[in-house]
A and B are shown apart, each in its own frame.
Chain A
């Protein structure tokens, strides 16, 4: 098992694991709407299925949020 950080929280995952695997494991509701950073760098959406994570990686999910005035 490899130790990684997801949204600031420690998790353990079986390697090999891609960004898509982490999205699935964390039950991200709208995977096609989430932006993903690994170690503070953005990963292109077309690399989600191939980008391999390694021990110690830090993953952040960034979500769209609207809100405010209904203009």
Chain B
């Protein structure tokens, strides 16, 4: 039986005070295993808040190193971390915030080869990636493995997020196929207001904690979109599609695929 120490009761007291969470909910958080894919703009606030919340196990997948241009929004990485692997930088900060968290790092990119194997050990997956091939890969792998996940996307002054649990509308129900490479700009091409990453990432962190504790109503069958220029938030109701190629009645996608990556990232033009 898992028991909290006096220090832990103190550390998590603001959660425990919440009628909907309490010691029982905090125990669920402590036993939770969450995988964060991408230790960037979205992954950073997600990792920081989940670490502070006391999520027992946090896995982080990212094969990249910290770039100076990341620091404008990827708040888990600090100036001396430039050129360090993002997973190492993130792990260090997570454990500085909360030594209780067991951090598992994957210094690699998610591919059709490793995706199912990596996600299988986790209760909840957070998509913090910048490109559509991986967003579709995360969706397909989670649908196949029956894993819930949070989708997040940001661009310029806007953000969108939805939560998938088995049986609800998946990302492919909304967006059938990845856009052709370079058809839709990414943040590294079109820019993003740094704080947007925090706004969206903290929503994803809240969804994760809601899932682990069973509190409230998840953002399933709804796409939340916001525009920070007007601060208009909108929820678009969605439904699972019976003809969805992955979660529909007769799925046509039965194996994972690696779609072509965008080729003109700012990084590559340097």
Contacts and interface: CB of A to CB of B under 8 A. Distances in A.
Nearest to B43: A69
A67 B155 contact: yes
Contacts of A68: 38, 40-43, 127-130, 152-154, 187, 197
Nearest to B187: A67
Interface residues of B, number: 55
Choose among B61, B70, B129 the residue with the greatest number of A CB atoms under 10 Å from its CB: B129
Interface in B113-137: 127-132, 134-135
Interface in A16-59: 30, 32-33, 35, 37, 40-42, 45
Contacts of A8: 234
Interface in B137-171: 152-155, 158-160
Contacts of A33: 179, 183-184
B179 to A, nearest CB: 5
A33 B41 CA distance: 24
Interface of B: 37-43, 61-64, 70, 74, 86, 109-110, 127-132, 134-135, 152-155, 158-160, 173-176, 179, 183-188, 192, 196-197, 200, 223, 234, 236-239, 241, 265, 267
Interface of A: 7-8, 30, 32-33, 35, 37, 40-42, 45, 60, 62-71
Given A62-B236, A64-B184, A67-B41, 10 more contacts: A32-B183, A37-B236, A37-B238, A42-B173, A64-B179, A65-B160, A66-B132, A66-B185, A69-B39, A69-B40
